[in-house]
Structure 1
Amino acid sequence: MKLQILGCSGGIGGKRHTTSMLIDDDILIDAGSGVLQLSLEQLALIDHVFITHSHLDHILALPLLLDSVGAMRDRPVTVYAIDTVLEILRQDIFNWRIWPDFTEVPPECPYLRYSAIDVYQAVQLAERVITALPANHTVPAVGYQLSSPTASIVFSGDTGKNPVLWDCINKIENLHALIIETAFPQDEHGIAEISKHLSPSTLLEELKQLTANVPIYITHLKPGREETIMGEIAELESVEYQLQALQQGQIFNF
């Protein structure tokens, strides 16, 4: 199982791209601007898109992906998300005002189908299993456990303090790595709290609940503040974690 980081920034600018991850060549985890780096041929291979939540930095490439390659495909792209997220996509994006409703067009072979999932539900695609995990954000949201037959990677999604998540993570016996957000530096801790993101201090408080000793990758760093955030994490860190910033283009094989 190959996981490629297409985008992992909290914004854009200077070749930064927002959250999207490609599993093998046919599954996307979120559809931020990172998707725009893929070729037309690569886009046409994507059969499944798992969305964590409805914020623009996680869905902005989805409408364009469907419009660009829908006619090149012989079946719809399946978008998986919890019910409330799918309802937002229906009402606010694929509504004919912002973008066509590709669940209806073309009538003979629509470009899009929705598949509602629940928190803790696992979706098996060949030998790969994608399981929705709880997140604590300003809108309904999930993270995902990405599992091969031998190992798992957890992606927190956008989340604030989230004790339930750690209960799930600590039960995973084959955890290979954790990808967790820390969007704001410490001088914007108040904004992080209001917007239900993590800052360095809350990240380290959350990590105290992690029982496994695995590599930890920090994602969703705000543009231009990456070095500040990672430096503050290092200064505040009282336990030696295997901790580093997630990199655009990084590849995990597991």
Structure 2
Amino acid sequence: MPEVLPCCRRSESLCAASRAVSRVGWGNAGFRRKGSAMRIRVLGSYGSRLPGYHTSSMLINDNILLDAGTVTAVLSLAEQATIDHVILTHAHLDHVVDLAFLADNVFTLRTAPLRIWGPEEVLAALRNHLFNNEIWPDFSHIRVRDFPIVELLPLAVGRASEVGGLTLHWERTNHPVFTAGYLISAQGNTLLHSGDTSITGKLWDMGRAASGLRLAFVETSFPNRLEAIARASGHLTPEMLKGELAKLDRPELPIKIFHMKPQFLDEILVELHDLDDPRLQILHGGEIFHC
């Protein structure tokens, strides 16, 4: 697993807390590989950008992105060209910005559209505010040979959708724009991804009832002292996270923490460490999990 920031950029006590929290739970070596149906590579795990900090994106089985906050700065052109599907939680910039550059990079290398999936409300935001021929070209109407560069495909409401060999269920979460949290399954193994959320309910109900749930990716964006900001902007603090995990009520489940605001990372790490929950692992980017 990648090392955390060097101690020269933190106090020794904060560095110790960072190492402790980052290494509890199931890391790369501890996660079972035999019979796994999903390989999850963390491309970016932060809620904003600073040098060395990449925004949210995960690559599943080399050809499916879950959010697109960081893609083109991490993957080679050949790796980018193998991506067939992008699943979006919502349309905020830190989750979609690299859709623009990914589409631009690979359109001559592909033999089919780049398929972008999400609830219809999320896709509508892309049409209106990104692929609108003002902010960026409308690649859904620019064709290469006999197909468009991108294709926007709505996920089913209230039932499963099949995307690239994965089965998706989603529930809306508590965020200022329409946002989905997901259960993603393959061959009986399931992961939960919270998307961006503050205090919520239906997502945890879905996760609590899920069979084959192997791990969960849950956002934690702000330190406890900024709880009012977290609530207003639709995010969690470590103390709020504790309450949400109690609702999920899956004490055996490894919890991977993402979407930390890097300017508050030291505080968040210490406060997560103080929760004394051995299931927690902080994601810094570059981690690989098998599910």
Class of the TM-score when normalised by the shorter of the 2 chains: over 0.9
> In 1, are the aligned partners of 2:85 and 2:164 still within 8 Å (CA)?
no
Which stretch of structure 1 is more off in the superposition, 218-227 or 136-145?
218-227
User: Which of 243, 253, 256 in structure 2 is aligned with 1:205?
Assistant: 243
Residue equivalent to 2:67: 30
Please give the secondary structure, in 2, of the residue aligned with 1:75.
coil
Q: Distance in 1 between matches of 2:286 and 2:158?
A: 28
Q: Distance in 2 between matches of 1:41 and 1:98?
A: 26
**Cα displacement string for residues 21-43 of structure 1 (whole angstroms, at most 9, x for unaligned residues):** 00111100000024421111111
The percent identity for this pair of structures is 37
The unaligned stretches of length 5 or more in structure 2 are 1-37
Amino acid at match of 1:7: G
Q: TM-score, normalised by structure 1?
A: 0.94
Q: How far off its partner does 1:210 sit? A: 2.1
The answer to whether 1:20 aligns with 2:20 is no
**Cα displacement string for residues 22-73 of structure 1 (whole angstroms, at most 9, x for unaligned residues):** 0111100000024421111111111100111010000000011101111111
Q: Distance in 1 between matches of 2:227 and 2:201?
A: 19
Q: How far off its partner does 1:120 sit? A: 4.3
Q: Distance in 2 between matches of 1:251 and 1:146?
A: 16
Q: Distance in 1 between matches of 2:279 and 2:183?
A: 19
Superposed, 1:82-161 pairs within 5 Å as 82-106=119-143, 108-125=146-163, 127-161=165-199
Give the number of the structure with larger relative contact order, counting CA–CA contacts within 8 Å between residues 6 or more apart. 2
Q: How far off its partner does 1:126 sit? A: 5.4
Please give the secondary structure, in 2, of the residue aligned with 1:225.
helix
Which stretch of structure 1 is more off in the superposition, 9-18 or 58-67?
9-18
Q: How far off its partner does 1:241 sit? A: 4.6
Q: How far off its partner does 1:127 sit? A: 4.0
Matched pairs, number: 252
**Cα displacement string for residues 48-100 of structure 1 (whole angstroms, at most 9, x for unaligned residues):** 00111010000000011101111111111111111111111111111111111
- Pick closer, same or farther for the CA change 1:100–1:13 going to 2, 3 Å: same
- Pick closer, same or farther for the CA change 1:12–1:179 going to 2, 3 Å: same
> In 2, are the aligned partners of 1:119 and 1:134 still within 8 Å (CA)?
no
Superposed, 1:56-67 pairs within 5 Å as 56-67=93-104
**Runs of at least 4 residues off by over 6 Å:** none
- Pick closer, same or farther for the CA change 1:17–1:118 going to 2, 3 Å: same
The unaligned stretches of length 5 or more in structure 1 are none
